[in-house]
Amino acid sequence: MLFPSQVSAINIAELIGAKILGNKDAFAKGINEIHKVEVGDICFVDHPKYYDKCLNSAATFIIINTTEVTIPTGKTLLVVDEPFEAYLTIVNYYRPFTPQQTAINTNAIIGEGTVIMPNVFIGNKVKIGKNCIIHPNVSILDYTEIGNNVIIQSGTVIGGDAFYYNTKKTRDVWYKKMQSCGNVILEDFVEIGANCTIDRGVTASTIIGKGTKMDNMIHIGHDVVIGKNCLIAAQVGIAGATILEDGVTLWGQVGVNKTITIGANAVVMGQSGVTASLEGGKTYMGYPAEDATIKRRELVWIKRIPTLWKKIME
């Protein structure tokens, strides 16, 4: 998430009650989680296991719960007891959840020729392009950006919160919501089926590329990036921060693991479970998803076990 304008290290430190170490004169342009962080961003880390990863990331500012680390040149440490709480404080300050009275926010920007059907909800700072059709009972939540010629079927939810929690099993409530401040971007000519859910990025954008078509009841996790001209059949689920390159086809009920990549023009057969990254240009099936030719042969081999048994018994 970008701040409306750059913010000084001192102002951030004041907001979260942090001690500043390192470069005190820097300005922050935004805040991001570790997978999406860029130069000028604030990032947070609260577990020693991830200190190095965060310190060596692109982040310019690191909210951290220790002073016992070497500060990388030019970077700023913001030291607090509870970095996760500091993250929430910043998000709530710059992008608070805003209760809304009207179904269509008056600050929404809606392009010429776009039809918004009844019972649609449009949230804070949403942008919708030209010649789109938003069917009844759709929810388009805060900060979503939609291109031109996009069609969204009924009941779909764009921009719900990421399923992303801070876990501490010593607390009475183990999982504490990592409040999402990212958004969803649907590019031109995207079509989304009925009763789908596309979660917003935790701090960055979930993106559906130009011309991609999705059937009904598809779940797209936070920070997923889908390329152009992909075809996704009904009831597919894609977990957080996964990448689909251009021209990928996923048939019905496929499940895709988080933070992996499916290469361009790959095809995944129905009900397959994609547990690891897949090379482009091939067809896959099964759980875990493998080259379909190999998998089909495997199904034949299984059928031969009784014959094997018989041969041995002879």
Active-site positions? 222
Could you give the 3-state DSSP secondary structure of residue 306? helix
Candidates 21-29, 34-42, 74-82, 294-302: pick the segment binding a second copy (CB under 8 A): 294-302
The 10 Å CB-count burial string (b at 16+, else e) for 229-259 is: bbebbbbbbbbbbbbbbbbbbbbbebbbbee
Candidates 12-20, 59-67, 74-82, 172-180: pick the segment binding a second copy (CB under 8 A): 172-180
* Residue from 52, 53, 58, 175 in contact with a second copy (CB under 8 A): 175
Report the nearest approach of a second copy to the CB of residue 185 (Å). 17
Whole-Å CA distances, 276 to 17, 184, 256: 41, 24, 8
Whole-Å CA distances, 76 to 47, 70, 132, 225, 258: 18, 11, 44, 30, 31
What does residue 79 show for φ and ψ, rounded to 5 degrees?
Answer: -95, 120
* Residue from 83, 129, 201, 255 in contact with a second copy (CB under 8 A): 255
Q: Which CB atom, from 65 or from 100, has the smaller least distance to a second copy?
A: 100
Q: Which CB atom, from 39 or from 302, has the smaller least distance to a second copy?
A: 302
* Residue from 20, 34, 69, 194 in contact with a second copy (CB under 8 A): 194
DSSP code of 234? T
Please list every residue from 205 through 224 that binds a second copy, using CB under 8 A.
210-211, 213, 215-217, 219, 221
252 touches a second copy by CB under 8 A: yes
Q: Could you give the CA distance from residue 214 to residue 113 in angstroms, rounded to a whole number?
A: 22
Please list every residue from 112 through 171 that binds a second copy, using CB under 8 A.
115, 117-119, 121, 123, 133, 135-139, 141, 151, 153-157, 160-161, 163, 165, 169
Q: Which CB atom, from 7 or from 162, has the smaller least distance to a second copy?
A: 162
95 touches a second copy by CB under 8 A: no
Candidates 2-10, 20-28, 43-51, 298-306: pick the segment binding a second copy (CB under 8 A): 298-306
Answer for the pair 294, 278: CB distance below 8 angstroms, yes or no.
no
Nearby residues of 274 by Cβ (< 8 Å), 6 or more positions away? 254, 255, 256, 257, 260, 262, 268, 284, 288, 289
Report the nearest approach of a second copy to the CB of residue 142 (Å). 11
The counts of H helices and E strands in the chain are 5, 34
